[in-house]
Amino acid sequence: MNLSLALATAALLAAEPTQLPPGHPPVPPGTTASPANPPAGTAPGAGAMPEGHPTMQEGAAAPSGELPPGHPPMSGTGRAPPSADELLRQLDSTEGLKEREKTFEIASSLGRLYYVNGRNTEAVTYLLQAEARAKPARELFLAQRKRLGKAAVPSPDAAGCGFTPGMPVEDMTAAAQERAKKGDAAGAAACARAALTPVLDVQMMRGHALLLSGDSAGAMAVYDGVLEVEPAHEEALFSRASLLFETKGEDLAALKQARAGFDALVAAHPDSARAPMAKRMSALVEETVKAGGRKKLLASRAEDRRIRLSQAAAPAQPDAPRPLSQEAIEAVKNTERTPELEQGLAKLVEEGEEHLAKGRYQEALANYTRVVPFQPENGRAKAGMAWALVGLGRPMSARVWGVAVQSDPAAVEKLGDTLKAKGDAKGAKALWEKLATDAPDYANKAALQAKLAQ
C-alpha cells in the first residue's frame, strides 16, 4: 500500500467527522477551545489551541501558508507524505482501530502496511478481517464450481463480468451473487473467482506472516486454502512444498507431497522464475525419499565425503588401498573361470539380492563389487549394483543405473520380480516405476505397466 492510500485509510477510520484539516492532531473529546472560544481566564484573541496542538511561536500569524514546526503535513500542499514509521505511529494511536468495521480494501491495506514493516502479529489481525469480508465470495465460488462439475470455469471476460480495475471486492461479489440467483453457475463462478484474485494475495501474505511468526501449521492451512480455490497458484504451490520439505524431513509421505507440489509448479508455470528452483528441489526431495529421510540422506552424504577424502589421501598412506592398476585389471580378465569360481560368484549375486530385499544396500554393494570385475557383462549383477547405489543415494548412482537400464533393462525388471518374491513388494514397485520412467522405449513396457497396476 502506498502512503497516500494508508493516510486515506487513517482518515476514514477517524472517530468522528471533523472540520480540522487533513493530518491535524486529534482534538480530545469535549475540548472546544479555539481562537474564537478561548478557555476561561484567557483573553479574547489570545489564540488558545486545544491540548496536543503543536506549539505556535508567539506572534505567529495563523493564516500564514507555512505550517509551524512539528505540524503534520497537509495534503495538497506539495509537502512530503509521512514516512511509514510516522504513519504506523498514527495508526497505533487511533483508539479502537482494530475493532472498527472496515471494507476489504481498507483492512487489506492496513494488513499489508504492517506486514511490509515486519509487524506480523498486527498484520495477521487486519488480513483476517479482510478475508472475513471476502468470505461470501469464496463460499459462492466453491459452491458454483461444484455445480459446474468437470466443466471449466470461464474467464471473467468470457463471462462478461464487466469488472473495472480497483472495483471493490464487495461489489464484485454482489454481481456474482446476482448471476447465481439467475441460475448462471458458470458466470457466477467466473465473477466470484475474479473477486477472489486480490483475496488470494491477502491470504498468501497472512500465510507468510504466520510462518515468520513461527506458526508453520497455521501457514500450511492458509496455503491449503489458497490451493483449494486455485490449485495451480504458483506461490502457494512453492510455499507449501517448501514448508513440507523443511518441516517434514523424516515423513516420506509428506516429502512425496512436497515433490508433487514442485512438479505441479513446473508443469503449470514452466517459464516462471521459480521453475528452475522447483526442479532442483524436486530432485533433492526425491533423493531424500530414496535415502529414507533427511537424517539418512545427510548420513549417506557424510559417508561419501569420508570415502572421497580417504581416497584423496591415499597417495600419502602407503598401506591404503589403491585403484586397480591396468595389470591388475588384466589379471582379473585372465583369471581362469573354474566351476568353483563361477559358483562362488553366483552365490555372491544371490546373497546380494537377499541384502537388497532386506534394505541392506551397503552389504549388497559389497557383494556386487566382488562380482562385476570378473563378470562385467552380467546383467543381473549390474542391475543389483545399480539398485544398491540408488538405495544408498550415492552420487554415482545415476550413471551406474543408466548403464544398467540401457544395457539390459530386462535384467533390471527381473530384479524387481526377485525382490517381490523375497518379500520386498515396495522395493519392487519402486524399481519398476523408476525403470518405466527412465526407459520410456522399453520393449516390455506393457508388461511392466501391468505389474505396476497390480
Which comes out higher in pLDDT, residue 245 or 84?
A: 245
- pLDDT digits over 14-27, tens only? 433 444 554 555 55
The predicted pLDDT at position 43 comes to 43
338-453: what fold?
1.25.40
- pLDDT digits over 169-213, tens only? 999 999 999 999 999 999 999 999 999 999 999 999 999 999 999
With a pLDDT cut of 90, the percent of the chain lying above it is 54
The predicted pLDDT at position 310 comes to 61
The predicted pLDDT at position 33 comes to 41
Q: At 285, which amino acid appears?
A: V
pLDDT at 390 over 80: yes
Candidate ranges 22-31, 250-259, 308-317, 339-348; pick with highest mean pLDDT: 250-259
- pLDDT digits over 103-159, tens only? 999 999 999 999 999 999 999 999 999 999 999 999 999 999 999 999 999 999 999
- Say if residues 240 and 224 touch (Cβ distance below 8 Å): yes
- Say if residues 430 and 407 touch (Cβ distance below 8 Å): no
Report the pLDDT averaged over residues 387-405: 87
The predicted pLDDT at position 269 comes to 96
- pLDDT digits over 429-441, tens only? 999 999 988 888 8
With a pLDDT cut of 70, the percent of the chain lying above it is 76
CA distances from 180 to 133, 161, 186, 408, 430 (A): 19, 13, 9, 60, 48
The predicted pLDDT at position 44 comes to 44
The predicted pLDDT at position 11 comes to 45
- Say if residues 219 and 208 touch (Cβ distance below 8 Å): yes
Average pLDDT, rounded, for the chain = 81
Confidence of residue 334 (pLDDT cuts 50, 70, 90): low
The predicted pLDDT at position 372 comes to 83
Q: Rounded distance, CA 142 to CA 147, Å?
A: 9
Report the pLDDT averaged over residues 30-50: 46
Helix axes 409-421, 379-392, angle to 10 degrees: 70
Name the pTM for this structure. Answer: 0.56
Reduce the DSSP state of residue 157 to 3 states and report it. Answer: helix
Mean pLDDT is lowest, of 59-68, 296-305, 326-335, 394-403, for 59-68
Name the segment(s) of the chain with CATH classification 1.25.40.10: 338-453
The predicted pLDDT at position 34 comes to 44
Q: Rounded distance, CA 352 to CA 422, Å?
A: 12
The predicted pLDDT at position 74 comes to 53
The predicted pLDDT at position 360 comes to 92
CA nearest to 132, candidates 155, 98, 165? 98
- pLDDT digits over 365-383, tens only? 998 888 888 888 888 999 9
Q: Rounded distance, CA 394 to CA 260, Å?
A: 23
The predicted pLDDT at position 2 comes to 45
